[in-house]
């Protein structure tokens, strides 16, 4: 337990680890749903501090990674138009579409702007009434309410030159799809804390009961992950499968009612394709008919795009927990953060990026976990 002193409270980390070691009697496979959790796990070597019987499988919870190539290509197409100001979160800049990314579109003269908040994009629309402003609305349940509010505001303020390119995804249908896969080995879930800050925990009891898996709502800090694992392992050892909240400081069981009401008003549930995985029923949101005017796909007819997935990229398997990043042939050779083949190598929540950044290779040795953040972090 060499790296345990890097934990914010090493004594507590040790107690949690000791408890997990004392509880485990059999092998268990847990999936951390969120990519932010994956980064914490790899950065701190948490998977290597855990008993050998506890395996952590990385889940699909990186919104940038699961955005389908087709949507990225549409974004690139719209962003290249001279009348358009294309606004996006910084994470999307280097996500490869077919042949290029937003970073390149800007170097070729496209007006691509990075915003901190979707409301910044709305402000840009107000300031540039003669241009079309399009915001790239991706993300899970945590990001959907801010984007919903922005569309609601646009409508309320009568801003006509603003639209949203929507590719929002929902976690529970992804959990369902993972559990239904014949090769699924997952026996318990660490659910994504901030998704539950918005949605609450109401969607999970039925999933936990039907698939007989414990679902533990878990935060992002190293100690949160250890506590989540501890509670999941306890349940598994006792043969229980309930929903448990290990992130009570930020998650109320009912979620955020104001955000839920806005989601209900602005979006409607739809099937969505997940990059590398395929279509998952009911796994996303699109704008509801009342807000159809603000749908960028409706406003700009983007057709005739020839989407080509790089054949070498196995990010679909990585996102489903079927393959560890370094087991991909292209990892670190054909595919690096500088020339990524898949979004999972670029995104700040991508599993391939985590393995690359923290130099995690399956060499049977404990890698040197960085004590400080790497200089000029290549993660956006």
Partner 1 sequence: MCLAVPGRVLDIGEKDGTRMATVDFGGVQKEVCLEYLPDLQVGEYAIVHVGFALQRLDEESARQTLELFEQLGMLQEEFGDPWEQAAAQAGADSPWPFADEPAVAAPQEEVQP
Q: Which residues bind ligand SF4 (CB under 6 A)?
A: 312-315, 318, 325, 328, 330-331, 335, 340-342, 344-345, 352
Minimum Å gap between C-beta 136 and ligand SF4 is 20
Among 186, 251, 266, 277, binds partner 1 (CB under 8 A): 251
Q: DSSP letters along 58-103, please?
A: EEEE-HHHHS-HHHHHHHHHHHTSTTEEEEE-GGGTT---SS--HH
The site partner of 177 among partner 1, ligand SF4, none (C-beta below 5 to 8 Å per kind) is none
Question: Would you count residue 326 as binding partner 1 (CB under 8 A)?
Answer: no
Helix (H) / strand (E) element for 32: namely strand 28-34
* 62 or 192: CB nearest ligand SF4: 62
Does residue 322 belong to the site contacting partner 1 (CB under 8 A)? Answer: no
From the list 284, 325, 356, the residue with the least C-alpha distance to 67 is: 284
Q: Which is nearer to partner 1, 26 or 249 (CB)?
A: 249
Place of tokens 């318990």: 188
Considering the complex, what minimum distance in angstroms separates the CB of residue 267 from partner 1?
Answer: 15
Sheet holding 54-61, edge to edge: 54-61, 28-34, 188-192, 215-218, 243-245
Determine, following the binding rule CB under 8 A, whether residue 48 of this chain makes contact with partner 1: no
Cβ neighbours of 249 (radius 10 Å): 9
Instruction: Determine if residue 176 is left, alpha or beta; phi over 0 gives left, psi from -120 to 50 gives alpha, anything else beta.
Output: alpha
Quote the CA–CA distance of 323 and 361 in Å, as a whole number: 13
The token pair that represents 119 in the structure block: 């409301």
How far apart are CB 97 and ligand SF4 at their closest, in Å? 14
Give the list of residues 6+ apart from residue 109 with CB closer than 8 angstroms, or none. Answer: none
Phi then psi for residue 177, to 5 deg, are -65, -40
Question: Judged by CB under 8 A, does residue 369 bind partner 1?
Answer: no
Q: Among 67, 143, 161, 235, indicate the residue that binds partner 1 (CB under 8 A).
A: 143
Which of 16-24, 167-175, 178-186, 336-344 is the region at the interface with partner 1 (rule: CB under 8 A)? 336-344
Is residue 258 part of the contact set for partner 1 (CB under 8 A)? yes
Sketch the per residue contact string, 281 through 320, with partner 1: x for CB under 8 A, - otherwise. Answer: ----------------------------------------
């Amino acid at each position: 337990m060499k790296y345990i002193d890097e934990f914010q409270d090493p004594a507590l980390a040790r107690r949690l680890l000791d408890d997990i070691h004392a509880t485990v009697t059999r092998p268990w496979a847990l999936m951390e749903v969120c990519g932010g959790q994956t980064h914490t796990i790899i950065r701190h070597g948490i998977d290597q501090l855990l008993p050998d019987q506890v395996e952590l499988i990385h889940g699909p919870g990186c919104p940038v990674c699961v955005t389908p190539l087709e949507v990225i290509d549409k974004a690139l197409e719209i962003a290249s138009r001279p009348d358009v100001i294309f606004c996006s979160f910084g994470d999307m800049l280097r996500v490869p579409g077919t042949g290029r990314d937003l970073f390149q579109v800007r170097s070729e003269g496209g007006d691509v702007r990075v915003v901190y908040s979707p409301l910044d994009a709305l402000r840009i629309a107000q300031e540039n009434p003669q241009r079309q402003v399009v915001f790239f609305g991706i993300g899970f349940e945590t990001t959907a309410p801010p984007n919903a509010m922005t569309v609601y505001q646009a409508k309320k303020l009568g801003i006509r030159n603003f639209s949203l390119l929507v590719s929002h995804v929902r976690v529970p249908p992804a959990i369902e799809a993972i559990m239904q896969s014949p090769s699924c080995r997952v026996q318990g879930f660490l659910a994504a804390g901030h998704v539950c800050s918005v949605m609450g925990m109401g969607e999970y009891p039925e999933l936990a009961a039907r698939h007989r898996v414990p679902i533990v709502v878990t935060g992002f800090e190293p100690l949160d992950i250890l506590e989540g694992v501890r509670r999941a392992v306890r349940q598994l050892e006792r043969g229980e499968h309930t929903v448990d909240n290990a992130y009570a400081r930020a998650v109320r069981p009912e979620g955020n009612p104001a955000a839920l009401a806005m989601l209900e008003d602005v979006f409607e549930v739809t099937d969505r394709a997940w990059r590398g995985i395929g279509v998952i029923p009911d796994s996303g949101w699109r704008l509801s008919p009342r807000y159809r005017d603000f749908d960028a796909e409706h406003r700009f007819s983007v057709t005739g795009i020839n989407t080509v997935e790089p054949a070498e990229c196995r990010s679909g398997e990585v996102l489903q927990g079927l393959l560890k990043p370094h087991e991909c042939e292209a990892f670190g050779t054909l595919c690096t953060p500088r020339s990524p083949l898949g979004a999972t190598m670029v995104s700040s929540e991508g599993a391939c990026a985590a393995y690359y950044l923290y130099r995690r290779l399956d060499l049977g040795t404990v890698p040197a976990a960085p004590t400080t953040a790497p200089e000029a972090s290549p993660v956006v």
